Structure 1
Amino acid sequence: MKTMNRSLFATLCLAVGLLASAPATAAGGADVHLDAANINLYDQASLQRGARAFITNCLNCHSAQFMRWGHLTQIGLTEDQIKANLMFNPDAKFGDYMTTALDPKDAQSWLGKVPPDLTLAARVRGSDWLYTYLRSYYVDPASPSGWNNEVFPNVGMPHVLHDLQGAYSKVVVGEREVHGKKEPVTKLALDRKGTMSPQEYDAYVRDLVNYMTFMGEPVRAKRIQIGIVVLLFLVVAFFAALVVKKEYWKDVK
């Protein structure tokens, strides 16, 4: 009986540990400081704003070929709302995947490469990475696109949201010593204001990243809910097993 109790307790601890460590593992990787996105997959208003931001700014060049238009009903939108406000292609059907109208040959000719599909971008990179990346562009005259990024150096994609955020430049503010060598310390300084304040732009990007996180795994919020219920059941079952064990063995000497 003691062995069974230890096994049940070990299983419970392992389940809790796996649930707690999953987000940290997914977010790890690049040696850069990442700002916390603080997304909320249960905030349907944020997800709806993010969906519009994605379709307006990203779907022109990038596809989301594993995401159907119909899945947007999971964030509180009706079929009529989706068709009227988000499906700008008159030939698209409600059950179709969210693909770009940009022809791959044209993309190769105009951009030098075909823009990657973004369905799983948040699962691959992590929400914090995307949130920081979309706020880390700066003007770089040496870059073919005229833009660069602190999180993704020499990025090929230009800053498509610069009208909203404005234009930043990288300036040297000091130096530091790394492994015996002096390196410049830089920061981004605002050169030209955008149509949004920094706070408004951060909120806009947070909504966009929130939606992209949902898009990468539409059942994630439901999975987390089920996981919590299962863990609570295991806790109750563990203590119930202890009570049964004590009751069963109380007369055994």
Structure 2
Amino acid sequence: MKFKSISKKILALACVVPMFAMANEGGPTLDKFDVNTHDLESLQRGAQTFANYCLSCHSAQAMRFNGLADIGIPDQQVKDNMLFAADKVTDPMKVALNPKEAKGFFGATPPDLSVIARARGADWLYTYLRSFYRDPSRPTGWNNVVFDKVGMPHVLWELQGEQHAVFKTEKNAEGQSVQVLEKLELVKAGTLTSLSGGKANTADYDQKVGDLVNFLVWMGEPHQNLREQLGYAVLLFLGILLLPFVYLLKRDYWKEIH
């Protein structure tokens, strides 16, 4: 009976796995982003971007303002540049925007971003923040390749500029003609992008987004770097501690042979 029960569970799992695989197929291709949470300058720039562009609507309740000291931002700098008059550095990162008002503006309450990088992944965030395009049919005037019919406006549009979507007609599996996104074109330069000879230079904007994604990844697990350092220290300590015992054991084992 126990064997049959285990067999049924294995069979059920085997049926579920392909469903997850199919669910992941057909989505937009994500750009690869190399996370580096050891780059403190990048994390500091990302924290600045987060405070200036994200924190007005999105909270990060799992992170306190004074936790930014771990990436080299002192409390006084936080007070001068990130806090409202009534806030304290020991407060969690919350927004002044009323959740009900936010839902009325955007159709849904903006989510807390404390662990958004762990939920979505760095590649998804990096691609999403670079994939907004003008769409007059949307209430905000913006849409996104990664998140179709997104309710969030493109808050970084002044930095990136405006992108337009270029669609092409293809046949789907049923033989019907459908509009498929071919590419995004930068048609209006932003403060961090430029257009020259019809070619777009987005390197500065991509770096800006990369710093923000780096910060979001760090914020989702702020003690990861410390754990890694402790892990290396423990391994080094155990190596030094055990080396003499291993040598003595080896000498005792081989003494009769030599």
State the TM bucket, normalised to the shorter chain: 0.7 to 0.9
Measure, in 2, the Cα distance between the counterparts of 1:44 and 1:122. 18
Counterpart in the other structure of 1:134: 129
| CA distances 1:2-48 after superposition (whole Å, capped 9, x unpaired) | xxxxxxxxxxxxxxxxxxxxxxxxxx999443223223212222111
The letter for the 2-side match of 1:154 is K
Equivalent position amino acid for 1:60 in 2? S
**Residue pairs, 1:7-156, within 5 angstroms:** 31-87=27-83, 89-156=84-151
Task: Report if the CA contact (8 A) 1:176-1:185 is conserved.
Answer: no
- CA distance, structure 1, for counterparts of residue 92 and residue 241 of structure 2: 43
Which sits farther off after the overlay, 241-250 or 47-56?
241-250
Aligned match for 1:208, one of 209, 212, 227: 212
SS of 1:190's equivalent in the other structure is strand
1:188 alignment partner in structure 2: 184
Instruction: Note closer, same or farther for the CA distance 1:236–1:34 as it changes in structure 2 (3 Å cut).
Output: farther
Matched, 1:159 2:154: yes
CA-to-aligned-CA distance 1:173-226 (integer Å, 9 cap, x gap): 686987988874611111211111211101111111111111111111111222
In the TM superposition, residue 126 of structure 1 has moved relative to its aligned partner by 1.5
Residue ranges of structure 1 left out of the alignment (5+ in a row): 1-27
For the aligned residues, what is the CA RMSD?
A: 3.0
Describe the shift of the 1:252–1:78 C-alpha distance in structure 2 as closer, same or farther (beyond 3 A): same
Higher relative contact order (CA 8 A, sep 6+): 1
Q: Where in structure 2 are there 5+ consecutive unaligned residues?
A: 1-23, 194-201
1:230-249 superposed matches below 5 A: 230-232=234-236, 243-249=247-253
Instruction: Determine the C-alpha separation between the residues in 1 that align with 2:234 and 2:59.
Output: 36
How many pairs were matched up?
A: 225
Change (3 A) 1:232 1:30: farther
Shift of 1:159: 1.0
State how far apart, in whole Å, the 1-side matches of 2:118 and 2:25 are.
Answer: 12
Structure 1 residues 160 and 185, CA gap change in structure 2 (3 angstroms): closer
1:151/1:232 CA distance change after superposition, 3 Å? farther
Larger Rg: 2
Call closer, same or farther: CA 1:156–1:246 in 2, change over 3 Å: same
Whichever residue aligns with residue 61 of structure 1, its letter is C
Moved more, 127-136 or 229-238: 229-238
Q: Deviations over 1:66-85 (max 9, x none)?
A: 11111011111221111112
- The Cα shift of 1:162 comes to 0.8
